[in-house]
Amino acid sequence: MFKFSATTPSSADLAIPPGWLTLCHACDLPSRVGDVPAGGTARCPRCGSVLYRRVRDSLDRTLALALAGLFLFAAANAFPFLALKMQGNVTHTTLSTGVRALYEQGTPIVASLVLLTTIVAPLLQISSLIFVLAPLRLGRRLPGQARVFRLLRRIQPWSMMEVFILGILVSLVKLLDMAQIVPGIALWSFVLLIPVLAAASSSLDAEWVWRRIGLAQ
């Protein structure tokens, strides 16, 4: 009934419980997917569209990336973001001081958006990934994993660090003629955090996670 790619599941990987029902996004045919091996693909028997593609080593890769993201996020908030040298004076800025400056300048809405998209949302994304995946890596399930994973899927669109970096680059270009700008450790950590979280999102096998925490039918 289903076409699977020719792959051999890893002995260290966990299998998905068979028999879950899904709907083809192309032709709306209800189909029941069996046990898909790691790296394998289930296709619709009518139109051949991909119903489900199981990501190889999804749990280990996503968890490792989430832990790396946690360290990068901590560095991005603990160290200076930029240093501005102007007329012998040196001013160090951090992510939190930038949010505070926006608030003090009379733009609380902008300050709240920056706080949400650059600090709160990435932190929730990283912590949610670790909370959901770490127990699964140990073969356990914790109360509240389903709610946290559902929250993770909702907050991912609010993580807009790349937009913040673009705004920083535009500001730096305008300040080059006025001051000497020295990038800090936090800036490089923040820049590295963007592809790390993007890689974690792409390597996450959401259907596999739902099956492991017992919600998908």
Residue 213 has a pLDDT of 83
pTM, 2 dp: 0.73
Residue 215 has pLDDT above 70, yes or no: no
Q: What is the mean pLDDT of the chain?
A: 77
pLDDT at 89: 73
Structure tokens at 55: 């990501």
Burial category of 71 from C-beta neighbours within 10 Å (exposed 0-12, middle 13-18, buried 19 and up): middle
pLDDT digits (tens, 9 = 90+) for 4-17: 333 333 433 444 44
Which residue has better confidence, 88 or 45?
45
